[in-house]
Chains A and B, each alone.
Chain A
């Protein structure tokens, strides 16, 4: 069956039963709400919903889960922009420029950029998924341990350009991130590391607890000192809708395309994730921009790049899940189990035995992106109204939600204490001006680099030089080296240009 026929058969399966549509819309809406509330994530939404889908038909189950997935990833941007508190890990980068733009009096404009970029990134990866899924999955399989290692190094090199103003502080942050990720059971040898014999530490620090603690609780603590002060939120937006005005995306098209491609490719590679994709896309946009100094002050490109990338990851992550049965992240792993329970184990055989299930996934994904955007159009003003509640009511509620989120990931009370500790660390970082974004990269990519290096060495029986037999890995490392020296290269080029301009003017005088 051709790709388009698959999509049509999926559409037919979904529209056959009005109940499916209803479940689906509730899923997308619930996903956005879970994504928007700091502490509650799409992953939590999917894991809560998963047992219920066992009793539904496979079509209903998979559409509602995909709805939550897409809504949950995108919903994070609301809190990031309006509160400067990321709604989920995927939206951490959106705070960098989204919150300043909202604070400068353009919350609607910021949300419009974010939501539209989410839509475009999501649709882009959806189209890629429908037409070249199998080829991309093969591309993903070319990645062996050395390639993942090189990819991790490349991601870590982003730290350098991310904090080119104060390199030492950036490195401190990245290294603390890597160290935090090492605590607990080593994933290969199952031996405990840095637990000091205390069994509570052997579970390690989860991603949700660490990242939300640092960003959300850190921000809540910093905002505490403004509690009770009258808010002078300027709101000078002429348009009160997320629909972008004509020409809003002029000059942003290149950034949108590149970020969507980055997001999709990172999505195809299991275990790298949305937050990394968003950071890499942001960094790429900043490096190729003519005015990189505008990043961080509320520029449109700084919102568009991460938001299109993190939503593009969704479609990308579905590719290996469907074609090979290899989940790209925790949520796709749960989507997969939602299918396995119905005896529909994802993989190449599903394409021949139950093509309508594949078609349903395709169509549900595209529909979810569109439904998400429509919901932003319809409900955003209410979201904003809720979020403009005075901070002294808002903060305790957000804190409570974060605590629930920290607890429910693993049902461990200890994780709540970890969350508090991370919040204090995040606050200290803010006070001494250490950027937290490098910590995220170190935390997410440190284990990728370490585990894959070990696996690579063992695969090649102790021969570290085998790295040089892997062209793809070498290309990635070369890119990392260029990124490492990019700030220096750029400075030199600019100086040369200045000299030349200066020389020219000298000549005319």
Chain B
């Protein structure tokens, strides 16, 4: 008898937990927008705790708390951003208290490469972008290349000889790299790793020649002198690397990087979207916020919802073209 009782208790306890997880806030209709926010705001970050997206999000969340007294909770779901996007479409998330962290250009690349099966980059409302983390091309300190021109000239003469270490194959980073090479007129051997720390270790250990990353991921190794930064993908030189040229300066008319931004369900009441956008903008313009972001190597940069949509649309075109070229022989 006891045994059965224990079994039932166990099952009940576990079921109740599952039920808690599924319970949704159904009171989204007619939400009061005057006193927004009335409860903690949750930001779903589809990356693991301690990653660069996560750190940026937490910095902004802390600043929002300091400046406006808002409680912003960061929730990490690592492993798969596609699943996180599917979850985000749930209409229960249109109450204005559930935010997401997706970049339009990444979603556009996912749609082109087949990782995502819908054009999600169009479907969401962006609450403005707060960081633009530009592409950064660097080499090991003992590398014979000292400028981006030297590197590209060598690669033109020896196509596919140098190893170009980056994260992931076929997706966002590879398409960005291929696009850059075609603009610069040279060719490298693309070697994908599953993690930026691994590709960096490969370049530091001499297993690959070029480290292709975003500025924030290379900053500490560059300031310690283990890596030499050759070029960045932003439209202007970065404040913390005034000596590093942009791709535009060397004649590659490109702006390549990663936007770090929050987005929200498209059915969210416009008043709430306006409040969130305004406060985020105010938060980013604050000197303390900017100092905190720069400390982590994140480059503060504001973009509006419209600009984000344009940006996503532009990159969708770019990626489609690259994808077609990459798969021309399939």
Contacts and interface: CB of A to CB of B under 8 A. Distances in A.
B120 to A, nearest CB: 13
Contacts of B189: 458-459, 461
B204 A141 contact: yes
B76 interface: yes
B40 interface: no
B3 to A, nearest CB: 5
Interface string B59-97: 100100000000000111111101100100000000000
B160 A347 contact: no
Contacts of A458: 189-192
A396 B9 contact: yes
B219 interface: yes
B194 A345 contact: no
B50 A336 contact: yes
A403 B14 contact: yes
Contact of B202 (A145, A400, A411): A145
A133 to B, nearest CB: 14
A399 B13 contact: yes
B83 A145 contact: no
A400 B170 contact: no
Nearest to B174: A189
A317 B44 CA distance: 29
Interface residues of B, number: 69
A345 B113 contact: no
Contact of B83 (A203, A228, A455): A203
Interface string B228-260: 000000000000000000000000000000000
Given A188-B194, A400-B13, A141 B296 contact: no
B55 A326 contact: no
Contacts of A412: 77, 83
Interface stretch (B15-23, B264-272, B282-290, B303-311): B15-23
Given A54-B62, A337-B55, A413-B21, A190 B113 contact: yes
B51 interface: yes
A493 interface: no
A270 B9 contact: no
A407 interface: yes
B266 to A, nearest CB: 20
A229 to B, nearest CB: 9
Nearest to B201: A326
B207 A270 contact: no
Interface string A322-340: 0011110010011011101
B94 to A, nearest CB: 19
Interface of B: 2-3, 6-7, 9-10, 13-14, 17-18, 21-22, 44, 48-51, 54-55, 58-59, 62, 74-80, 82-83, 86, 110, 113-115, 160, 163, 168-171, 189-195, 197-198, 200-202, 204-208, 219-221, 223-226, 295-297
Given A326-B200, A337-B50, 15 more contacts: A47-B50, A141-B205, A144-B205, A185-B82, A190-B115, A227-B2, A228-B3, A270-B201, A325-B221, A345-B223, A348-B225, A350-B224, A399-B13, A413-B18, A416-B17
